[in-house]
Amino acid sequence: MAKAVWNGVVIAESNETVIVEGNHYFPEDAINKEYFQDSNHHTTCPWKGLASYYNVVVNGQTNPNAAWYYPTPKDAAKNITNRVAFWKGVQVIE
């Protein structure tokens, strides 16, 4: 079971993550949505496509753009459709 933890709280948990480039992508229904706020931040990956971000908010603290996902990934990355990954201090524990 993989768990994503930030600020002492489990923000996502799943037995069905997909690992791409060393990052665990959690199924969208495995994230605790109460800790996520939409962000206006976007980046582009040449082979995955346009990434959107969430701010992670736990116990009154915000970790801006700490989670990302690809709403419509390119064909090479279809396996991460409807999945969310983390960085910026979010620990993923296997």
The CATH number that applies at residue 54 is 2.170.150.40
Indicate the pLDDT class of residue 79, thresholds 50, 70 and 90.
Answer: very high
Please give the pLDDT value at position 74. 98
Residues forming a β-bridge with 5: 10, 91
Domain residues for the domain of 51 are 2-93
Average pLDDT, integer, range 40-58: 98
The total number of structural domains that make up the chain: 1
Average pLDDT, integer, range 37-49: 98
Indicate the pLDDT class of residue 29, thresholds 50, 70 and 90.
Answer: very high
The proportion of the chain whose per-residue pLDDT surpasses 90, expressed as a percent, equals 100
Mean pLDDT (the chain, rounded): 98
Residues 62, 5: Cα–Cα separation, whole Å: 14
Please give the pLDDT value at position 69. 98
Contact 44, 31 (CB under 8 A): no
